[in-house]
Chains A and B, each alone.
Chain A
Amino acid sequence: MTARRLWRTLWPPLLVAVAVVAGWQLVAQFAIRDAQVLPEPSQVVSAGWRARGDLWQNTVPTLRETATGFALSFALSWLIATAMDFSDAARRAVYPLLVASQTVPVIAIAPLFVVVFGFQLLPKVLLVALATFFPLAAALAEGFAAADGDAMRLLRSMGASRWQAFVKVRVPGALPFFFTGLRVSITYAIGGAVFAEYAGAEYGLGIYMQRMQGVFRIDLVFAAIVVIAVLSVLLFASTYALERLVTPWRRYEPRRGEG
């Protein structure tokens, strides 16, 4: 992406963000006038900067949980989507459960996970996986199924096995679907970890927010929220970079819907 195009993508959301922050500042400063209810953005930033050591110390575990949970989710989604692609019975057995898993409210199940799996890494990892698994697996399964029937016949005419056709046609064809699913699911990832920490942890942005709320440091609660939002946006943006790396041919494909 050239600097120009980067700027063209970035200025509209930046403009809106600046407007929102300005509005927040005005409301906090002139309407609410109580930092215990709604601190001013400037207060959030300065408090966050002063507490940067604490914030960082609590960010690292959250990131670790997110990464581990997401790796688990990634591996599971490929495994299960592949199984569903090879076996109709597996698809019929698993798909409804996947949908059900998506409807489980993470916030409600988090305390349960902590009770069962303890205060360490495991319940957080499992919650992140639970929150991010479905969009990935569903996108992959859809991507595999979208393979062109004629392409599969061509492979068959070459004498390809089912597995060869899967690896050479269905997997690469599913990658664009995968990245769409990845973008949906990655926005849930950090949230999943934070909810899990809320339910019980030693360190992490979730438990940090809870503690700060307990001592009425609403400015630091907001600072933690800002950190979470920035991390989520960075993760989201990184999926585009990864996609360009993994699917370099896509820039040569005629763009859909632009004729």
Chain B
Amino acid sequence: MTGGAFLLEARALVQQFPRTGQQPLRVLDGIDLAVRPGEFAAIIGPSGSGKSTLFNIIAGLDRPAGGEVRIDGRVATGHNELVSYMPQKDLLFPWRTIQDNAALGLEVQGVSRRAARERVRPLFADFGLDGFERSYPGQLSGGMRQRAALLRTVAMGRPLLLLDEPFGALDSLTRTQMQLWLAGMWQRHGWTVLLVTHDIREAVFLADSVYVFTPRPARLAARIVVSLPRPRTAQTFLLPEFAAREQEVLGALGLPAQEPGRSSTEAP
């Protein structure tokens, strides 16, 4: 790393979309973020507030209307070799087997299909996909599909993972299993993760810091530091601090039930 303390920095990001016959639709209204190498950061906000829009900018797919993104210290413009993006839909390609879906990112980078398969195969056990290398996505359950999409994201070997509501479409039991699994994977692999979610429990359980967005146009309502002990396990849900941080996020989202005098919210 050459960029000092932060792997990802966003400064005063503004994004807006043109509308016919009206003022442009402002979606991001001055967003600041800073993510250290190895940190797990989460973004939570009402749906439609602009979270995916932010990811599209960080992934280099769209240009912001204002502000800048630095990745590893360098101003990011366009496609970036350091960012691996898992979009909101799982987007596994039905015509590729799971191993070939996982290998897609490497193939695109010029690795032969054979070599790419060799490189992704050791990851299958960790992702609970052993024995499904040659299955098609249509043969997998929702949770397995999400893990396969995550495997593809990780397999690219890029330092920053952008995960856009990876578990949003799963039932609540599967989602909890996936959260526990992801916490364990993060612990072992030391990924740098920026996760978008609309699930407060998920954000608090997984993240070191939670950015709370206001409704559109998104500003930072709060940045909440979660210093729950690591590794996080099923026991983590029972800790008093877990409930306290949940309350805090709820409060920052403008929802009721924050106890007075327990705020550790930092001004963004």
Query: Measuring CB to CB, which residues of chain A are less than 8 angstroms from any residue of chain B?
Result: 148, 150-151, 153-160, 164, 168-169, 172-173, 175, 247, 249-250, 252-254
A7 to B59, CA, bound (A): 53
Q: Verify B138–A157 contact, CB threshold 8 A.
A: no
Q: Looking at the complex, which one of A154, A172, A254 makes contact with B95 (CB distance below 8 Å)? A: A172
Residue B168 at the A interface, CB < 8 A?
Answer: no
Q: Looking at the complex, which one of B59, B105, B109, B136 makes contact with A249 (CB distance below 8 Å)? A: B136
Q: Verify B108–A158 contact, CB threshold 8 A.
A: yes
A contacts with B: majority SS: helix
Interface size grouping (class) on chain B: 20 to 34
Knowing that A153-B87, A252-B138 touch, tell me 5 more A-B residue pairs with CB under 8 angstroms. Answer: A153-B61, A157-B60, A158-B108, A159-B79, A159-B81
Min CB–CB distance B150 → chain A (angstroms): 13
Residue B89 at the A interface, CB < 8 A?
Answer: yes
Which of B59, B95, B105 has most A Cβ within 10 Å?
B95
Q: Verify A249–B95 contact, CB threshold 8 A.
A: yes
Of residues 89 through 114 on chain B, the ones whose CB sits less than 8 Å from some CB of chain A are: 89, 91, 93-96, 104-105, 107-109
A172 to B136, CA, bound (A): 14
Chain B residues closer than 8 Å to A160, beta-carbon distance: 108
Q: Verify B108–A151 contact, CB threshold 8 A.
A: no
A173 to B137, CA, bound (A): 14
Query: Measuring CB to CB, which residues of chain B are less than 8 angstroms from any residue of chain A?
Result: 56, 59-61, 79, 81, 83-85, 87-89, 91, 93-96, 104-105, 107-109, 136-139, 156
Chain B residues closer than 8 Å to A155, beta-carbon distance: 108
Min CB–CB distance B144 → chain A (angstroms): 13
Q: Verify B79–A154 contact, CB threshold 8 A.
A: no
Q: Verify A150–B136 contact, CB threshold 8 A.
A: no
Q: 9 smallest A-B Cβ distances: which pairs?
A: A252-B138, A172-B95, A157-B85, A160-B108, A249-B136, A158-B108, A157-B59, A252-B136, A158-B105
Q: Verify B83–A157 contact, CB threshold 8 A.
A: yes
Q: Verify B85–A154 contact, CB threshold 8 A.
A: yes
Q: Verify B87–A150 contact, CB threshold 8 A.
A: yes
Q: Verify A164–B108 contact, CB threshold 8 A.
A: yes
Q: Verify A168–B87 contact, CB threshold 8 A.
A: no
A172 to B89, CA, bound (A): 19
Closest to A254 in B: B138
Chain B residues closer than 8 Å to A173, beta-carbon distance: 95
Q: Verify B83–A252 contact, CB threshold 8 A.
A: no
Min CB–CB distance A171 → chain B (angstroms): 9
Chain B residues closer than 8 Å to A154, beta-carbon distance: 85, 87, 91
Min CB–CB distance B168 → chain A (angstroms): 14
Q: Verify A156–B79 contact, CB threshold 8 A.
A: yes
Chain B residues closer than 8 Å to A249, beta-carbon distance: 94-96, 136, 138
A58 to B159, CA, bound (A): 68
Q: Verify B94–A253 contact, CB threshold 8 A.
A: yes
Q: Verify B139–A158 contact, CB threshold 8 A.
A: no
Q: Verify B91–A252 contact, CB threshold 8 A.
A: no
